[in-house]
C-alpha cells in the first residue's frame, strides 16, 4: 500500500536508500529528539545502515541506545526508553536493501505528517555541534527479556493448545517458543534458529507457500499452525486441518477470545468484523476474559493508514487494533505484534477448535467496483456529500476522502484513488447475496449522480 510504503521512509530497493540517507535521518531526528533507540533485523545490509544512522545521530548530539538484532515487537516495546525508535529493516520482502522504520515513544509508527516534517528537514541545512557535544552510544542487552516478561505478565493463566510453530529462522524465535513453553503449550517448533541466509516462504495463501505448513499440521493430529514473517510483525494461522485463515478470520477469533472494550480498525474493514464485535455473529467460544460493560465498549474506525490507526488507539486507550494484516495490543505497544497474537491464538486452542469456530461464521459477500469520474476530486467530494442521504443510510462516517456507509442489510466503503485523479473505488458487503446485488444497483446510481460533479 502506498501509505505503508511512505511510513518506511524510503525503505525500498531504490537508488535513494543508501547509508547517506541514514546519516541525513540522524541529523533530522536530532532537531526534536535527544535519545533514540535503535535496533536491526537479520538482513546483511542492516548493520551497515544502522552504523550510518548512528553516525548521523551521534554527530548531531543525540544519545543512542543500541538494542541489537531484535524483532519488531521487541523494539516497539523498548521505544519507551528513548524519545523515539528506529528499526533498521525491510519487512515487505527480505533480501532488499534495509530501510528505516520510525516509531514513536509508544511503539506506534510515525504518521504521514511526521514523515513529511522529516522530509522537509532533509532539504534544509542543519548546524552540527562541535566534538564536546557529541552523543553517546550505549548497548542494551535485555530488550528481548523485557518484552518476554511483559507479555507473560499480561496473559491469563490459561494453558495453551497444540501448535506447529514456524519462526522462519527469524527474530520471533527469541520470544514465541519460550513464552508458549512457559504456558504449557504443546509446541512443535521448526526453523527456530536465527539464520540471516534463510529464504522463507511468503505468508500468502498460495498453494506453494502453504504446502509445507499444511503437511506439518496434518502430521500432528489436533494441532493448529502458525507461521511468522522474519521480524515477528505478521503471521499466518492454519486451522487443525491445515487450511490457512484470512487475517479477518484471525481478528474475529481474537475479538471473540479477548473481548476487548475498545477496538480500532481502518475504515475499509469488513462489516463482518464489526458484526462480530457487536455480538451480531452468534459464535460461542471459551474465554477467561470477562464480558466488558456495554457502556464502555467502542468500535472506532480510523483513516486507513498505520499512523492514523496508531493515533486513534492512543487517543482512545484502545485494547486492540488492526491494520493491513498487523494486530496491535495497546497494553504492550502500538506496533503490530504477531508474537502476542500467536500466543493468544495458542491459548484459544487450549479450549477451542479453530476449524469449528471458523466454520460457525456466517458467509459474507463482497463486491469491489471502480468508477471513473469526469470532475475534479473536490467537486466529487461535494456531490457525494449532497447525494449520500438519498440512499437512506443508517449512518455515514467520512474521513479525508473516504466514506463508510451503513445500510440496513450491509454497507459500502468509498475511497478516492490517491494515484489517479479520476478513479473512485467502492467496496460493498452484506451477508445477504440478493441484498448485495440490489445495493450495487443503488451504488451505481449514486456514482452516476456524483461522477460529473454537477
Instruction: Evaluate if residue 348 carries a pLDDT over 70.
Output: yes
Three-class SS of 417-438: CCCCCCEEEEEEEECCHHHHHH
Give me the pLDDT at residue 5, please.
35
Tell me which of 9 and 433 has the higher pLDDT.
Answer: 433
H or E segment and range at residue 64 = strand 63-69
Give me the pLDDT at residue 16, please.
57
What's the CA gap between 413 and 411, in Å, rounded?
7
Instruction: Evaluate if residue 91 carries a pLDDT over 70.
Output: no
For residue range 174-191, what is the model confidence (pLDDT) as tens digits?
999 999 999 999 999 999
Percent over 70 (pLDDT), the chain: 94
What's the CA gap between 93 and 375, in Å, rounded?
38
For residue range 315-328, what is the model confidence (pLDDT) as tens digits?
999 999 999 999 99
Residue 158 neighbours by CB under 8 Å, 6+ apart: 183, 288, 347, 350, 351
Percent over 90 (pLDDT), the chain: 76
DSSP letters for 78-93: HGGGSSEEEEEE--SS
Domains of the chain by start residue, with CATH: 2-141 (3.40.120.10), 146-359 (3.40.120.10), 365-450 (3.30.310.50)
Give me the pLDDT at residue 427, please.
97
Give me the pLDDT at residue 454, please.
64
The residues that bridge with 266 in the sheet, in sequence order, are: 302
> For 96-100, 312-316, 317-321, which range has the lowest pLDDT when averaged over its residues?
96-100
Give me the pLDDT at residue 97, please.
58
For residue range 22-78, what is the model confidence (pLDDT) as tens digits?
898 999 999 999 999 999 999 888 999 999 999 999 999 999 999 999 999 999 999
What's the CA gap between 413 and 393, in Å, rounded?
12
Instruction: Evaluate if residue 358 carries a pLDDT over 90.
Output: yes
The alpha helices in 230-305, defined as continuous H runs, are: 247-258, 271-277
**pTM, 2 dp:** 0.92
Give yes or no for a contact between 449 and 442, defined as CB atoms under 8 angstroms apart. no
Give yes or no for a contact between 65 and 38, defined as CB atoms under 8 angstroms apart. yes
Give me the pLDDT at residue 17, please.
67
Give me the pLDDT at residue 7, please.
35
Tell me which of 93 and 65 has the higher pLDDT.
Answer: 65
**Angle value at C-alpha 167, between 165 and 173, nearest 5 degrees:** 105
Give me the pLDDT at residue 159, please.
83
> For 69-73, 147-151, 153-157, which range has the lowest pLDDT when averaged over its residues?
153-157
pLDDT confidence bin for 400, thresholds 50/70/90: confident
For residue range 190-244, what is the model confidence (pLDDT) as tens digits?
999 999 888 888 898 899 899 999 999 999 999 999 999 999 999 999 999 999 9
> What's the mean pLDDT when you consider all of the chain?
91
C-alpha cell recorded at residue 77: 516495546
SS3 111: coil
What value does the mean pLDDT take over residues 328-338?
96
CB atoms within 10 A of CB 441: 9
Amino acid at each position: 500500500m502506498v501509505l505503508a510504503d511512505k511510513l518506511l521512509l524510503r525503505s525500498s530497493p531504490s537508488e535513494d536508500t543508501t547509508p547517506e540517507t541514514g546519516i541525513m535521518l540522524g541529523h533530522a531526528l536530532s532537531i526534536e529528539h535527544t535519545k533514540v533507540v535503535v535496533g536491526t533485523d537479520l538482513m546483511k545490509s542492516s548493520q551497515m545502515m544502522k552504523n550510518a544512522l548512528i553516525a548521523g545521530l551521534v554527530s548531531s548530539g543525540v544519545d543512542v541506545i543500541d538494542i541489537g538484532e531484535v524483532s519488531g515487537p521487541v523494539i516497539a516495546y523498548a521505544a519507551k526508553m528513548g524519545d523515539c525508535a528506529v528499526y533498521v529493516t525491510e519487512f515487505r520482502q527480505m533480501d532488499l536493501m534495509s530501510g528505516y522504520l520510525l516509531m514513536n515513544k509508544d511503539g506506534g509508527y510515525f504518521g504521514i505528517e511526521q514523515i513529511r516534517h522529516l522530509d522537509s528537514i532533509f532539504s534544509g541545512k542543519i548546524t552540527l555541534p562541535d566534538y564536546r557535544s557529541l552523543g553517546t552510544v550505549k548497548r542494551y542487552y535485555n530488550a528481548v527479556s523485557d518484552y518476554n516478561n511483559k507479555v507473560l505478565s499480561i496473559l491469563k493463566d490459561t494453558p495453551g493448545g497444540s501448535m506447529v510453530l514456524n519462526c522462519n529462522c527469524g527474530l520471533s524465535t527469541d520470544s514465541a517458543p519460550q513464552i508458549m513453553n512457559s504456558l504449557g503449550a504443546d509446541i512443535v517448533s521448526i526453523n527456530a534458529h536465527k539464520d540471516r541466509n534463510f529464504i522463507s516462504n511468503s505468508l500468502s495463501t498460495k498453494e506453494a507457500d502453504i504446502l509445507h505448513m499444511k503437511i506439518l499440521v496434518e502430521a500432528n493430529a489436533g494441532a493448529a499452525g502458525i507461521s511468522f514473517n522474519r521480524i515477528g510483525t505478521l503471521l499466518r494461522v492454519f486451522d487443525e486441518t491445515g487450511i490457512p485463515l484470512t487475517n479477518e478470520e484471525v481478528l474475529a477469533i481474537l475479538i471473540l477470545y479477548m473481548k476487548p472494550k475498545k477496538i480500532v480498525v481502518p475504515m475499509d474493514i469488513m462489516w463482518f468484523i464489526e458484526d462480530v464485535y457487536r455480538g451480531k455473529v452468534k459464535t460461542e467460544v471459551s474465554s477467561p476474559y470477562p464480558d466488558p460493560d456495554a457502556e464502555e465498549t467502542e468500535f472506532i474506525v480510523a483513516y486507513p493508514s498505520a499512523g492514523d490507526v496508531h493515533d486513534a488507539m492512543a487517543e482512545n486507550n484502545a485494547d486492540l487494533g488492526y491494520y493491513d494484516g498487523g494486530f496491535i495490543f495497546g497494553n504492550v505497544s502500538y506496533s503490530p505484534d504477531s508474537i502476542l497474537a500467536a500466543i493468544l491464538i495458542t491459548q484459544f486452542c487450549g479450549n477451542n477448535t479453530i476449524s469449528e469456530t471458523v466454520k460457525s461464521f456466517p458467509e459474507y459477500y463482497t463486491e469491489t467496483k471502480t468508477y471513473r469520474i469526469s470532475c475534479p476530486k473536490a467537486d466529487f467530494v461535494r456531490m457525494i456529500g449532497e447525494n449520500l442521504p438519498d440512499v437512506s443510510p443508517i449512518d455515514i462516517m467520512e474521513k479525508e476522502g473516504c466514506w463508510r456507509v451503513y445500510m440496513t442489510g450491509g454497507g459500502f466503503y468509498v475511497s478516492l484513488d490517491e494515484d489517479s485523479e479520476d478513479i473512485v473505488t467502492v467496496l460493498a458487503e452484506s451477508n445477504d447475496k440478493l441484498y448485495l446485488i440490489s445495493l450495487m444497483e443503488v451504488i451505481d446510481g449514486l456514482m452516476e449522480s456524483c461522477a460529473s460533479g454537477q
